[in-house]
Amino acid sequence: MTITPCYLFPQLPESLAGLAELAVDLRWSWSHTADTLWQHIAPELWEQTRNPWLILQNVGGNTLQQLAQDQDFIAKLNTFVSEHRDRLAQTCWFSKTYPHPPFSQVAYFSMEFGLSESLPIYSGGLGILAGDCLKTASDLGIPLLGIGMLWQQGYFRQSLDDCGRQIELYPYNDPTQMPVTPVRDASSEWLRLELPFPGRKVILRAWQAQVGRVTLYLLDSNDPLNAPADRGITAELYGGGPETRLQQEICLGVGGWMLLRRLGIQPDICHLNEGHAAFAILARAYSHMQDHGTDFPCALTATRAGNIFTTHTPVSAGFDRFPPELLTRYVAGAPRAFGIDVETILALGRENPEDTREPFNMAWLAIHGSLTVNGVSRLHGAVSRRLFQPLFPRWPEDEVPVTHVTNGVHTPSWDSAEADALWTKHCGKARWLGDLKDIEADFRRTSDEDIWQLRSTARQQVIHFARQRLQKQLAAAHAPDQDCEQAKTALDPNTLTIGFARRFAAYKRPNMLLTDPDRLYRLLNNPHCPVQLLIAGKAHPKDGAGKAMIQQWTQFIHQHPDLAGRMVFIADYDMMVAEQLVQGVDLWINTPLRPWEASGTSGMKVLVNGGLNLSELDGWWAEAYSPETGWALGDSQEHDSDPEWNRLEAEQLYRLLEEEVVPLFYHQRDANGCPCGWINKIRESMSRLTSQFSSNRMLQEYVHSLYAPAARLLAARSERATVDGISRWQHDIRQHWQSLHFGELNVQSDTDTHHFQVHVYLDDLDADAVAVQLFANGDGAQDPKIYAMTRGDALSGAINSYNYTCAVPAHCAVERFTPRIIPHRDGCLVPMESTEILWYR
């Protein structure tokens, strides 16, 4: 749907229409080509907000009239507009790599999207990842769209009272001040959806945000025709009780799918992020029933092939669960509306379908309704296989069908202008737009001087930023004038600067550095090799422990006035603060309790800017760390929340800082004052890790390994007969499995081969519906191995029974092998679609 500038900005003169075109596209949040234009229009507002949309909303008619007369300005504007159009029209990575696209459209569902501070509808990592994903899809030309919610208040904003306690604020997100526009239907009406809720309909309004080539659709319930309570459904992200959360998830999943239908968009891939969006599975299956006249099981079989579930949670407590009675109320209309009985729906959210008291688990629904499931780092993949094991009883944990794609960050959004210039010098302007294979070698040529210059400028800038924020915070907290005056000179541009910013949740252990306050004091206050700290982070409003940890930091700062120039707690951690910190700090510290950090992305954002990481071996760092690129905390093991272990790790953290980090930064300086050892580490970290942990690599991996295969599976199920065949197969397996059994097992060994032979009785099951395998247990040194057994002659005198054989190398002891029977069908995924398994013993 085209956007008419005159509707959005009625006072915009015709010759300035291009401004609306530029402002409406959030591409300005990572491509800074037109920045000078906005700066020219409103220098002060630009400095404060970096938000072209806001500038255009607020600029006065007189200024616009003047600009319309300014031939230079118009010429510049026209150049930017045509550059913008050219760029959008360029052929990109996706169409070059896939001249015959394997899929036509991906719908990326997420509760939150973090694209820019101008659109505050995110809380943390999940949202930032979603935002980075849309930006990257635009860069690479991947046909992807986003589905999310337009939160009226977003996540809370943080300020600190004069005792350093967190105060939560909920400013209203005025849609007219945000870069979103109403979605209009063919007759120019604002598109509204009606969702069936118990006893009423809830109206959702549709909005859109433009992210380069990608569209993000957003829904909100703040329509005057809704009851007041329903208008509040989309008020607070992660606020409210279980029922509100359920309503929000229905709006996202069902509402999101309904919106696509109304727009005539038929995505082949639904990418569901977290269980939050899993109701889209039901809505999609229902549409399939309507379109093809099938029953629900067949519709689910056909459509689930196109659903991909990405889990972002490393602990079972992180999955949303709803009491069955609550869910029942919301799906009670299903038999009429969807032709599905309530129990069928409830069973999809359970581990044990017969247990009617089991809560409804959104992650279980997501798995039961997808064929592809992945975690967000290698370690998180393994952790997720453990968490999801209960859904695949008697299957080895290794074979639980969960893969992983490690997260990445949208590098152009997180690099500083100076870092961008340095990368451009060595790797070219288009470095993040294609494949990434030359980047490492190209960047490694960077000189020590260039790297150190980048770091020194960056440190100065973040200090400038921190001073300004500190002054504002102190003024707001009515601090004495003297303190406000001191804030102007806080921090030092030549001092090792450490950043620590994240959600204050217990598992992140944000107060590890405070374990021994005296030792921290000595570290910061070392006369020859001082250290300064920038800290930021919010605690969830209901997380008392998290808030206490914030206060522990602010009190430490309070109690050591002589450290006032060395430590700043920056309030209201958001994308803007994150951007400043990751661009400026020398070292980024991350102390999660392994394995609670599914991936973590903030540490990836420092890479492109030459910051180094000191992090727990958890999430992404467990696969990124090497001694050449940074520092590792922990021992690669899990220790639960053992206080003794926490103390040992704190000890390790102090020791690393005192004996390795600080000396490397201050010593070994060359004649020009460059710390060579430190710079070598930066060079390794930048050249090896930046592209590897970019969302560019991540999304290419999603396309190759997940989206394209899923689309092929989906296409293979377009025929009714195929789907019926799969359903019958699943049904037969369930019906006959209990009667399957093994007979005699024989093994003969010669010098280098074991010959296995086993009798298998298949009841009434077609022999092609199963596979018989020989499974070799792993031991410490070797992974488990699976060999296919070959079906031989039917056993004489027995019905539907066969001899299966297999020859394997004799270097493993016979005792390690066990025959097993599993369901099998071409084009189907086992155990995802049929979880039975029968072991010989």
Ligand X SMILES: *Cc1c(COP(=O)(O)O)cnc(C)c1O
124 or 256: whose CB is closer to ligand X? Answer: 124
- Rounded to 10 degrees, what is the CA torsion of 492, 496, 501, 505? -120
Give the DSSP per-residue string, 381-411: HHHHHHHHGGGSTTS-GGGSS-EE----B-H
Contacts of 815 (CB under 8 A, 6+ apart): none
Alpha helices (H) in 566-608, listed in sequence order: 575-584, 602-607
Contacts of 154 (CB under 8 A, 6+ apart): 120, 121, 122, 123, 173, 236, 237
CA-to-CA distance for 734 and 728, rounded, in angstroms?
Answer: 10
12 or 578: whose CB is closer to ligand X? Answer: 578
**Is 575 an interacting residue with respect to ligand X (CB under 6 A)?**
yes
User: Among 411, 511, 554, 602, which residue sits at the site for ligand X (rule: CB under 6 A)?
Assistant: 602
Strand 106-109 and strand 307-310: pairing?
unpaired
285 or 571: whose CB is closer to ligand X? Answer: 571
User: Among 400, 422, 568, 578, which residue sits at the site for ligand X (rule: CB under 6 A)?
Assistant: 578
Long-range pairs, 617-620, Cβ under 8 A, ≥24 = 618/379, 618/592, 618/593, 618/594, 619/376, 619/377, 619/379, 619/380, 619/592, 620/377, 620/406, 620/407, 620/693
The least distance separating ligand X from the CB of residue 546, rounded to whole angstroms, comes to: 13
- In eight-state DSSP terms, residue 723 is H
**Is 600 an interacting residue with respect to ligand X (CB under 6 A)?**
yes
H, E, C per residue of 467-493: HHHHHHHHHHCCCCHHHHHHHCCCCCC
The least distance separating ligand X from the CB of residue 131, rounded to whole angstroms, comes to: 9
128 or 451: whose CB is closer to ligand X? Answer: 128
**Is 359 an interacting residue with respect to ligand X (CB under 6 A)?**
no
296 or 573: whose CB is closer to ligand X? Answer: 573
The least distance separating ligand X from the CB of residue 547, rounded to whole angstroms, comes to: 17
332 or 545: whose CB is closer to ligand X? Answer: 545
- In eight-state DSSP terms, residue 11 is T
The least distance separating ligand X from the CB of residue 388, rounded to whole angstroms, comes to: 22
**Stretch of 94-102, 426-434, 523-531, 573-581 lying at the interface with ligand X (CB under 6 A):** 573-581
**Stretch of 51-59, 134-142, 262-270, 567-575 lying at the interface with ligand X (CB under 6 A):** 567-575
368 or 508: whose CB is closer to ligand X? Answer: 508
The least distance separating ligand X from the CB of residue 829, rounded to whole angstroms, comes to: 31
Which tokens is 819 given?
A: 């025959």
Size of the site for ligand X (CB under 6 A): 12
Specify burial of residue 740 (Cβ count, 10 A radius: 0-12, 13-18, 19+). Answer: middle
**Stretch of 596-604, 739-747, 758-766, 797-805 lying at the interface with ligand X (CB under 6 A):** 596-604
The least distance separating ligand X from the CB of residue 504, rounded to whole angstroms, comes to: 10
The least distance separating ligand X from the CB of residue 410, rounded to whole angstroms, comes to: 11
173 or 495: whose CB is closer to ligand X? Answer: 173
The least distance separating ligand X from the CB of residue 210, rounded to whole angstroms, comes to: 22
The least distance separating ligand X from the CB of residue 122, rounded to whole angstroms, comes to: 8
> Is the CB of residue 495 less than 8 Å from the CB of residue 463?
no
The least distance separating ligand X from the CB of residue 590, rounded to whole angstroms, comes to: 7
Which tokens is 491 given?
A: 């921090």
**Stretch of 244-252, 286-294, 559-567, 594-602 lying at the interface with ligand X (CB under 6 A):** 594-602
Which tokens is 524 given?
A: 């910061």
**Is 584 an interacting residue with respect to ligand X (CB under 6 A)?**
no
600 or 610: whose CB is closer to ligand X? Answer: 600
The least distance separating ligand X from the CB of residue 549, rounded to whole angstroms, comes to: 14
193 or 513: whose CB is closer to ligand X? Answer: 513
The least distance separating ligand X from the CB of residue 155, rounded to whole angstroms, comes to: 10
**Is 546 an interacting residue with respect to ligand X (CB under 6 A)?**
no
Q: Is 67 left (phi over 0), alpha (psi -120 to 50) or beta?
A: alpha
Sign of CA dihedral 302, 202, 4, 146: negative
Contacts of 110 (CB under 8 A, 6+ apart): 126, 127, 130, 146, 147, 148, 273, 274, 276, 277
The least distance separating ligand X from the CB of residue 773, rounded to whole angstroms, comes to: 40
The least distance separating ligand X from the CB of residue 678, rounded to whole angstroms, comes to: 23
**Is 615 an interacting residue with respect to ligand X (CB under 6 A)?**
no
Specify burial of residue 286 (Cβ count, 10 A radius: 0-12, 13-18, 19+). Answer: buried
- In eight-state DSSP terms, residue 779 is B
The least distance separating ligand X from the CB of residue 756, rounded to whole angstroms, comes to: 49
**Is 128 an interacting residue with respect to ligand X (CB under 6 A)?**
yes
- CB atoms under 10 Å from CB of 561, counted, come to 10
Cis bond leading into 831, ω under 30°? Answer: yes
In the chain the first and final C-alpha atoms are separated, in Å, by 62
**Is 124 an interacting residue with respect to ligand X (CB under 6 A)?**
yes
314 or 675: whose CB is closer to ligand X? Answer: 314
**Stretch of 90-98, 270-278, 597-605, 820-828 lying at the interface with ligand X (CB under 6 A):** 597-605
117 or 516: whose CB is closer to ligand X? Answer: 117
370 or 602: whose CB is closer to ligand X? Answer: 602
**Stretch of 3-11, 601-609, 645-653, 656-664 lying at the interface with ligand X (CB under 6 A):** 601-609
590 or 773: whose CB is closer to ligand X? Answer: 590
**Stretch of 15-23, 330-338, 516-524, 570-578 lying at the interface with ligand X (CB under 6 A):** 570-578
**Is 125 an interacting residue with respect to ligand X (CB under 6 A)?**
yes
**Stretch of 4-12, 120-128, 360-368, 434-442 lying at the interface with ligand X (CB under 6 A):** 120-128
404 or 502: whose CB is closer to ligand X? Answer: 502
**Is 25 an interacting residue with respect to ligand X (CB under 6 A)?**
no
Which tokens is 331 given?
A: 């799906």
The least distance separating ligand X from the CB of residue 806, rounded to whole angstroms, comes to: 47
Which tokens is 830 given?
A: 């086992």
The least distance separating ligand X from the CB of residue 501, rounded to whole angstroms, comes to: 7
**Stretch of 13-21, 124-132, 185-193, 391-399 lying at the interface with ligand X (CB under 6 A):** 124-132
**Is 573 an interacting residue with respect to ligand X (CB under 6 A)?**
yes
572 or 833: whose CB is closer to ligand X? Answer: 572
The least distance separating ligand X from the CB of residue 572, rounded to whole angstroms, comes to: 10
Contacts of 325 (CB under 8 A, 6+ apart): none
**Is 601 an interacting residue with respect to ligand X (CB under 6 A)?**
yes
**Stretch of 101-109, 122-130, 170-178, 767-775 lying at the interface with ligand X (CB under 6 A):** 122-130
CA-to-CA distance for 13 and 68, rounded, in angstroms?
Answer: 7
- In eight-state DSSP terms, residue 816 is G
Angle at 414 between CA 411 and CA 415, to 5 degrees: 80
Please count the CA atoms within 13 angstroms of the CA of 595 that sit on its side-chain side. Answer: 22
**Is 571 an interacting residue with respect to ligand X (CB under 6 A)?**
no
503 or 683: whose CB is closer to ligand X? Answer: 503
Strand 790-794 and strand 801-809: pairing?
antiparallel
Cis bond leading into 595, ω under 30°? Answer: yes
Question: Scanning residues 492 to 511, which ones bind ligand X (CB under 6 A)?
Answer: 502
CA-to-CA distance for 610 and 418, rounded, in angstroms?
Answer: 11
Angle at 29 between CA 308 and CA 12, to 5 degrees: 120
> Is the CB of residue 568 less than 8 Å from the CB of residue 534?
yes
Residues of this chain that bind ligand X (CB under 6 A): 124-125, 128, 502, 573-575, 578, 600-602, 605
